[in-house]
Amino acid sequence: MLSIKNLHVKMANKHILQGLDLNVQPGEVHAIMGPNGSGKSTTGHVLAGREGYEVSSGEVSFKGKDLLQLDTEERAREGLFLAFQYPVEIPGVSNVEFMKAAVDAVRAHRDQPALDSMSFLKKAREYCTAVNLDQNFLKRGVNEGFSGGEKKRNEIMQMMLLEPSLCILDETDSGLDIDALQIVAEGVNRLRSPDRSFVVITHYQRLLNFIEPDVVHVLCGGKIVKSGDKSLALELEERGYAWLEDEVA
């Protein structure tokens, strides 16, 4: 599904990713944890195609394609989805029109028949309900005035509509209340399938009780310093990150 080899990324002359390796097979769930500023969001943004990052070396292949050669929208159409840590507010552009445009673009690319407005709306409403967002959020401006938790749930609603094959969730659990966390986790679990993979970036082991990862990685100083099974998350919860930094050094 996704293979990152020795990725080095600079931003404003600062080395952020320094030799990142990551292999995600279809159907797997990988969790990435790590201290603030270690490069987790950067990884998500580089994969999603945000401008301003300089990839100085390394390779990324996504479903056999050279990901870094694709435009942002092509990556999305190929099935890559990033749920933002900080979703963007876009007043004046309605959520539902935006998502209809997105779904149309994605389906056209995948040679799926276009959805008519009615069936699209039906789905959109259903997924709103699934993440416990009122339906009037569809009519509102994209994330405009949404609370922190509502923005995160809106990201998941979008993810459900777009049916991606690789979902990168960047701290989707931060800012969610306890019930919302469970709702979002259920949404994610509903999407789990043998040909869909997840990369879940989080600071909290708790999320991983709901979304069980196959592999847990620790990203530190721009590379993966340790990988293990879900028990690694429990260990981190107990011991923090300092011992890993020592171990690496």
Partner 1 sequence: MSEFVTQATAFKPRSAVTQLQTFREQALNQWLDSHLPNRKTEAWRYLSLRALTGDNYFRTPAETPLEDKRALLTLSNIPGLDCYTVVMFNGSFEPALSSLPDSASGLQVSAFSDLSADVLSPYLNSAFNHQAHPFSHLNACHFADGLFVKAAKNAVIDKPLHLVNLVSKQPEKFNVSPRVLVIAQSGSQVSVIEHYISDEAEQSCFVNGISEYCVEEGAQANLYRLDMLQESAIQISGVHAALAKNASLNSFFLSLGSRLQRCDISVNFRGAGAQANLQGVYLPRNDQQVDYHTCIEHCVPHCTSNEVFRGIVSDNAKAVFNGRIHIHRDAQKTLAQLSNKNLLTSNKAEVDTKPELEIYADDVQCAHGATVAQLDETALHYLTTRGVSREEATVMLSFGFINELIEKIQLAEIGSYLRPVLAKRFASKHDLARHLL
**Which residues contact partner 1 (rule: CB under 8 A)?**
48-51, 71-73, 75-77, 81-82, 84, 87-88, 90-93, 97-106, 109, 141-142, 158, 162
Q: How far apart are CA 79 and CA 20, in angstroms?
A: 22
Question: Does 51 help bind ligand ATP (rule: CB under 6 A)?
Answer: no
Instruction: Report in angstroms the alpha-carbon separations of 68 from 62, 72, 116, 132, 167.
Output: 9, 9, 33, 35, 17
Question: Does 11 help bind ligand ATP (rule: CB under 6 A)?
Answer: yes
Nearer to partner 1, 51 or 116 (CB): 51
Joined together, the tokens standing for residue 48 give: 């999603």
- Cβ of residue 109: shortest distance to partner 1, in angstroms? 7
Residue from 34, 39, 41, 180 binding Mg ion (CB under 5 A): 41
For the beta sheet containing 197-201, the strands, ordered from the edge strand earlier in sequence to the opposite edge, are 80-83, 166-170, 197-201, 29-33, 215-220, 223-228
Residue from 23, 37, 126, 145 binding ligand ATP (CB under 6 A): 37
Question: Does 205 help bind Mg ion (rule: CB under 5 A)?
Answer: no
Place of tokens 């011992």: 243
Q: How many residues does the chain have?
A: 249
How remote is the C-alpha of 95 from its chain's centroid? 19
Question: Does 172 help bind Mg ion (rule: CB under 5 A)?
Answer: no
Nearer to Mg ion, 16 or 67 (CB): 16
- Cβ of residue 167: shortest distance to partner 1, in angstroms? 12
Nearer to partner 1, 20 or 159 (CB): 159
Q: How far apart are CA 224 and CA 217, in angstroms?
A: 6
Question: Does 42 help bind Mg ion (rule: CB under 5 A)?
Answer: no
Q: What is the binding site for Mg ion (CB under 5 A)?
A: 40-41, 85
